[in-house]
Structure 1
Amino acid sequence: MARTRHLDFDEGADSSRFVTALARGLDVLACFHVDEKWLTNAEIASRTGLPKPTVVRMAYTLCVLGYLRQSHESGKYALGDSVAALGITMVSNLKLRRIARPYMQDLANRYDISVSLGIRNGLSVLYVENCRSGAPLSLGLDLGARIPIAETAMGHALLAVMESRERERLLAEICKDEGEQRWPQVLQTINAGCAHWRARGFTVVVRDWQTDIVGVGAAIRQPDGRVIAFNAGGGSQQVPARAVGAGGRAPAGAHGQRAGVIRAQRRGLSAPVPSPNTPAEQRVSALPRGLKRCRRSCQAKGGMRSFWPG
């Protein structure tokens, strides 16, 4: 069987292989956001930067193919069933998602938080799996939600394990989006997150993207180069920043718990559930370790080599 030729994508949109008309059509599909069903031609034109006549032609073609549908009452457009079919096929073929879910749910239940799995989507991380505890304060983001790479623990972890050329291209795109005035501060935050990853094997962001939110991130780079990121997060009352900032080191009086973790790991089990009477900061200080164990378990079951520290 003839092998498919490997393409070099470094040229990007400047390559003679790049089909601009196709890119414009995909831009139209990508401008729809979660919890936002209908858009007018003018709204699509504003978001994509395309002339309105071009949007009208693109929308017509996409409706014929089933990727958009039009309301008979308002004339507005919504994503069609063909988009759903593509998305479901892609997510269903994501093997790591199936492997990770039980570990993610266990971690969410253990610490009353939300644990998510995501992949890159432009300048965002797209949630492809999300597990929540029953806690009323757990984050309400769900499948299909997008969070900014530049401002989140999940995004910083994704950047930290990317191949260097891909990371530099992404940083250039983020720089363009942020603008010259904000970029130095944003880059400093990203570099600090990547350094934290190299030193500790996880990233932490406190109250950057959303007020009163603490996030812990980790990531896996698969053998084919795709990066899949994990995020564990909640309100600062659930995830005290001081505890997470301890980097997963056991706080005073927690050495008995650490011994229990080691014994459980030797038996192939997850860490023991902390005592209900344990103070919040003592319980949550184990969260980075829990997320790293989740990541390692997924790596082992998925048959992937290690691409990360810790």
Structure 2
Amino acid sequence: MGRRSERLSKQGMLASDLAGDGDVIQVVSRAFDILRCFEGHDARLGNLEISNRCGLPRSTVSRLTHTLTRMGQLAYLPADQKYRIGSSAVAMSASMMRGLQVRNLIRLRLQEVAEQVPGTIGFTIPDRFHMVYLEYARADHALGLHSTTGSRIAMGRTAAGHAYTAALDEDVGNALINDIAREMPEDAKILRGKIAGNRECLRDNGYVLAGGLWTPHITGIATPIWSPQYQTYVVVTIGLLAAMYDEQRLQDEIAPILRQLSGTISMMVQNADSGLTSAPVPDAPPAPTAQKKMLPEGMNELEAGTRRPRPARSLRAGDGGR
């Protein structure tokens, strides 16, 4: 038991577990894979669609969807011969979210930045090979940028995912990339080619840059924050139009804003993880002077690893590295 707990403390989702090895009960893992297929409360999927998305035999999917329906995790729609998320799953989600008052504060901070920056600002958490938006804000004039709370974005093709993998200890990050390669080989190839540079950028600057991976029109910058509550890194990310923001402009104008935002959110996360969800949070610091140049005229972004994790502030340049 002690050895298993020690392994889990290294990487909440073990690389070997993701690969189907070790002591994971596969039927439980597959049941959660099925639930992950339902993106959004209104998603409706049949067994064949679920089978295609999960890569599982249709007979296996049929048995699992039947069980999940009996448990209330899924609801069967006879007229459509499809399933949707069930009442028990919705109730469980609502119960879990009830204690996260800090998310309301984070949402306000994201929106404040969205009013200053012509892009999207996200607060994400890892789920297997994706990052999921826990909170999301978007500037009114953010052209070509469309996501929402609950949206899933691939680790290999987003600044948030690149920042997350770069924050992991090297052996854990490499193992995760190997696991991604089994299901998403092209994404793993991208990560392998950039992981060394991402780690260096994170170590020296406190953030990671990634552009043109999800779409050639979008570029992003992201910073990981360690969450003691979830024993993983959450990531604050900002996405912008590449035509407006090249790498230099991201570093000069957006990076200071991201540092301020991630510092404020890090304080919120640490307070929440200490049970201080009602603790006062300082007002967002004034935006740097460079921000005034940002809007075009006319226009009113695991676990720790073998070492003990440190708060995100230790990831910033000048703080002595990770």
> How far apart, CA to CA, are the structure 2 residues paired with 1:182 and 1:151?
7
For 2:201, the equivalent position in structure 1 comes to: 196
For 1:260, the equivalent position in structure 2 comes to: none
For 2:176, the equivalent position in structure 1 comes to: 170
Structure 1 residues 240, 88: closer, same or farther in 2, change over 3 A?
farther
CA drift at 1:40: 1.4
Number of matched residues?
A: 266
Task: Check whether the contact 1:202–1:216 (CA below 8 A) recurs between aligned residues.
Answer: yes
Q: Structure 2 length normalisation: TM-score? A: 0.73
Q: Is it true that 1:15 corresponds to 2:22 in the alignment?
A: yes
1:152-197 CA-to-partner distances (Å, cap 9, x unmatched) read 1111111122244432331221233343x87555412232222211
Question: Structure 1 residues 160-169 or 70-79, which shifts more?
Answer: 160-169
Equivalent residues in 2 for 1:253-292, closer than 5 Å? 285=253, 287-292=254-259
For 1:279, the equivalent position in structure 2 comes to: none
Letter in 2 for 1:226: T
Q: What is the CA RMSD across the aligned residues, in angstroms?
A: 2.7
For 2:94, the equivalent position in structure 1 comes to: 88
> How far apart, CA to CA, are the structure 1 residues paired with 2:166 and 2:27?
33
Letter in 1 for 2:267: A
> How far apart, CA to CA, are the structure 1 residues paired with 2:263 and 2:25?
40
For 2:278, the equivalent position in structure 1 comes to: none
Letter in 2 for 1:309: R
Which of 48, 51, 71 is 1:45 aligned to?
Answer: 51
Question: Structure 1 residues 68-77 or 230-239, which shifts more?
Answer: 230-239
For 1:265, the equivalent position in structure 2 comes to: none
Letter in 2 for 1:14: D
Q: Point out where structure 1 has 5 or more consecutive residues left out of the alignment.
A: 249-284
Structure 1 residues 109, 192: closer, same or farther in 2, change over 3 A?
same
Structure ID, larger Rg: 1
Letter in 2 for 1:20: Q
Question: Structure 1 residues 66-75 or 300-309, which shifts more?
Answer: 300-309
> How far apart, CA to CA, are the structure 1 residues paired with 2:244 and 2:97?
30
CA drift at 1:308: 1.2
Percent of aligned positions that are identical: 23
Q: Is it true that 1:57 corresponds to 2:63 in the alignment?
A: yes
Letter in 1 for 2:67: T
Structure 1 residues 122, 24: closer, same or farther in 2, change over 3 A?
same
For 2:5, the equivalent position in structure 1 comes to: 6
For 2:225, the equivalent position in structure 1 comes to: 220
Q: Is it true that 1:157 corresponds to 2:163 in the alignment?
A: yes
> How far apart, CA to CA, are the structure 1 residues paired with 2:74 and 2:226?
33
Question: Structure 1 residues 222-231 or 95-104, which shifts more?
Answer: 95-104
> How far apart, CA to CA, are the structure 2 residues paired with 1:190 and 1:158?
10
1:261-309 CA-to-partner distances (Å, cap 9, x unmatched) read xxxxxxxxxxxxxxxxxxxxxxxx2x11101111112223444743412
Letter in 1 for 2:7: D
Letter in 1 for 2:222: G
For 1:235, the equivalent position in structure 2 comes to: 241
> How far apart, CA to CA, are the structure 2 residues paired with 1:210 and 1:139?
10
Structure 1 residues 156, 96: closer, same or farther in 2, change over 3 A?
farther
> How far apart, CA to CA, are the structure 1 residues paired with 2:127 and 2:189?
23
Task: Check whether the contact 1:97–1:117 (CA below 8 A) recurs between aligned residues.
Answer: no
1:240-269 CA-to-partner distances (Å, cap 9, x unmatched) read 44411xx23xxxxxxxxxxxxxxxxxxxxx
Task: Check whether the contact 2:158–2:220 (CA below 8 A) recurs between aligned residues.
Answer: yes
Task: Check whether the contact 2:122–2:135 (CA below 8 A) recurs between aligned residues.
Answer: yes
Q: Point out where structure 2 has 5 or more consecutive residues left out of the alignment.
A: 9-13, 272-310, 318-322
Question: Structure 1 residues 119-128 or 50-59, which shifts more?
Answer: 50-59
For 2:211, the equivalent position in structure 1 comes to: 206
Task: Check whether the contact 2:177–2:191 (CA below 8 A) recurs between aligned residues.
Answer: no
- Counterpart of 1:239 in 2: which secondary structure? coil
Letter in 1 for 2:74: L
- Counterpart of 1:14 in 2: which secondary structure? coil
> How far apart, CA to CA, are the structure 2 residues paired with 1:95 and 1:172?
36
Task: Check whether the contact 1:41–1:56 (CA below 8 A) recurs between aligned residues.
Answer: yes
CA drift at 1:88: 3.3
CA drift at 1:89: 3.6
- Counterpart of 1:137 in 2: which secondary structure? coil
CA drift at 1:146: 1.0
